[in-house]
Amino acid sequence: MKRFIKNFAIYLVIFAVVLGVAFFYKGADGAKKTAEVKFSTFATHLEKGKYKTINITDRKMTATLKNGNKEYAYAPSVVEISWLENSYVFPQVKSGKLKLSSDPPQSSVNFFSLLPTIIMVVALGFLFYFMMSQGGNNKAFQFGKNRAKLYKENGKNIRFADVAGLKEEKEELEEIVDFLKNPSKYSNLGARIPKGVLLVGNPGTGKTYISRATAGEAGVPFFTISGSDFVEMFVGVGASRVRDLFDQAKKNAPCIIFIDEIDAVGRKRGAGLGGGNDEREQTLNQLLVEMDGFDGNSGIIILAATNRPDVLDPALLRPGRFDRQIVIGMPDVKAREEIFKVHTKNKPLADDVTIEILARRTPGFSPADIENLVNEAALLTARRNGTKIRMDEIEEATTKVMAGPAKKSRVISEAERKLTAYHEAGHAIVMKAIPNSDPVHQITIIPRGMAGGFTMSLPEDEKFFMTKGDMVNMIKHLLGGRVAEELKLDDISTGASNDLERATAIARQMITKYGFSSKLGPVSFSSSDEVFLGKDFSTRQNYSEETASEIDAEIKHILESCYEATTNILKENDEAFERVAQALLLIETLDGEQFNDLYDGKVTPEELAENVKARDEQIAELNKAEAKESERLEEERRQEAEERLKELQSVIVGDLKFEDSTFAEENKPTVKKDLEKPSEEEQTNSNVGWPAEAEEEPKDAEIEADADTDADASKEAAPESKDEYKNDTETDKE
């Protein structure tokens, strides 16, 4: 900021000097000018013979009066100069009363008239050169320079030990780091380290995070840049930035270049929009040449990340460029447990929270989802002024991350509540009745997001493959709501539209992608082509119209058979179905344990409602007590801080009073008044305004001893508040 102000001031001074010089020369020309008069006045003076000399040039007339003054006028376009000359000028010239003259035509350029323009051009040239010579002020002119940032050690580096899970992935990257540290170990064996490593995975799986850990472990220059930083509206800029990046990397070899979201610049060439000569393809071509061209880039390792490996150009993925692909998948239950431990390390958890249970209840969650879940739970705890995160907050945070916040204030008619209750109860009963289905975790009729209600199931074990029976059961689960509406309400609604879409998509995949149809056989009818910018706009249908008709018939057959089976399941479990629906109308939300009790007939909806009401009242009382305790601790911390400040001020003022007796005697009234009523400024900084000879800071040992004494006193006054204070502070930080 200071540098900007300095340069701006210099530019302003230069501009003021240029304007001053220009106005000086303009003023010098203006000093020769005489008074301007109207043409009628000029003609009157000429008629009366008041002029000694007259100069007529074009339509400008300049005359000298007999008293020596000069004046000039311009003849209007409607007046002929010859008339004025014949009527007044020539007769007086003949009589000798007036002298006539005229300026010669300008045949050459007047240097002095061009001098202001020359000075302005020279000054602007100097100004432009000065701006270009400034390192931080020429970004607008450095289009072809790369925008890579050099990763610097700042004492907060991320190491592989900080990355939870991803054991095999870290081993692959540790090999790269070891090569950069001990290249002779591999060169003696004739081994060649991979030139490029591509990190592939879904969003939020930790690709960028593990690359930062690689930078922390490597101990070599680490350049980071995004794929979009190469893209520019000007032709040739992207390729220029690639060249500049590798030139800079060669100067700092051995080093690592990390390109995040490389799919922005590495998409397939030669199809779709843009043809084969657009700016993006030129940038990609230059990147291909730099990675594996005639000039070797020994000691430079390219590290890239993307969640769209399917759109990358094949030339980019061949050996010699990106030799190795590391897939960063979704964490399993063990990895999720480690991730939960990392993100809950500095958060106070209640006794009912168990990390192992949290890991089992969050299948399919990415590390980013888990971090967001824990943060949402902390925010919910702070909302009720709590001091520890309970399992209730974590459950609510999980549901909030998956389905959105609850909209309890939405006004819903009783008919719609009844429809939603039977709809969600139908889903839950079908899940429970079908063997080997995932257990029901939560049922609610409270709107969340775009859904009027939902039924959540959590798998007990990790599944990496789906069988034909599993997919058929999924279709039955989805159709449970639609069948329940038809059985209980004698009508159907639009609430099952999303269920039908998902069920139809599963059935179509069974037939066209996985070959589960006994009629069509083990044949795949799906196209692998995907429509996206940079590829074809349409996909080919690689089967006949007769086959398409048979596919539609098979899909319809699967859906109809599942619909019939779902109807039978709900009819067989009608009593449990009714109990679950009535309980949803009473308490709106059921967890897995409550649902199982209702399904087995262990509790009636009315009894469950009473139990829930009593539990809610108990939790409300507990929340009030915890909120009061939090306020009390906050007040104690505030009072302790104020007391320590006052005691520290008294120590400083007392030392000054008793150590400098001469100053106390000379200024006794003033000092007494100041000590009796210290001002706010003196309370903040009590030594402000004291003379130089009276300034003496108290010794650090004395202040530290006093602070320790205060800390001990506060500890004896409130021995149990230390842990609570620590926990509450950590909660506030989160």
| Residues assigned a catalytic role | 424
Q: What is the DSSP string of 671-726?
A: HHHHHHS--HHHHH-TTTT--GGG--PPPHHHHHHHHHHHHHHHHHH-TTHHHHHH
Find, among 91, 110, 89, 90, the residue nearest to 43 by Cα: 89
Query: Distance between CA 365 and CA 82 in Å, rounded?
Result: 99
Cβ-contact 598, 590 below 8 angstroms: yes
Three-state SS at 305: strand
Residue found under tokens 């999720």: 336
Tokens of 642: 């104020």
Tokens of 206: 């930790």
Query: Distance between CA 262 and CA 230 in Å, rounded?
Result: 10
Residues 6+ apart with CB under 8 A from 212: 151, 158
Find, among 442, 233, 196, 420, the residue nearest to 316 by Cα: 196
In angstroms, the Cα distances linking 308 to 200, 304, 350 are 8, 12, 40
Find, among 553, 539, 549, 564, the residue nearest to 482 by Cα: 564
Query: Distance between CA 593 and CA 603 in Å, rounded?
Result: 11
Residue found under tokens 């590495």: 266
Find, among 417, 413, 574, the residue nearest to 488 by Cα: 574
Find, among 252, 147, 262, the residue nearest to 208 by Cα: 262
Q: Give me the sheet containing 454-457, strands edge to edge.
A: 454-457, 440-444, 589-591
3-class secondary structure for 46-62? Answer: HHCCCEEEEEEECCEEE
Cβ-contact 571, 593 below 8 angstroms: no
The single-letter code of the amino acid at 338 is E
| Cis ω before 698 (30° cut-off from 0) | no
Residues 6+ apart with CB under 8 A from 635: none
Cβ-contact 446, 477 below 8 angstroms: no
3-class secondary structure for 306-369? Answer: ECCHHHECHHHHCCCCCCEEEEECCCCHHHHHHHHHHHCCCCCECCCCCHHHHHHCCCCCCHHH
Residues 6+ apart with CB under 8 A from 420: 412, 445, 452, 453, 495, 584
The single-letter code of the amino acid at 40 is S
Query: Distance between CA 262 and CA 712 in Å, rounded?
Result: 58
DSSP state for residue 230 in the 8-state scheme: G
Residue found under tokens 């209600």: 453
CB burial of 398-436 (b: ≥16 within 10 Å; e: otherwise) equals bbbbbbeebeeeeeeeeeebbbbbbbbbbbbbbbbbbee
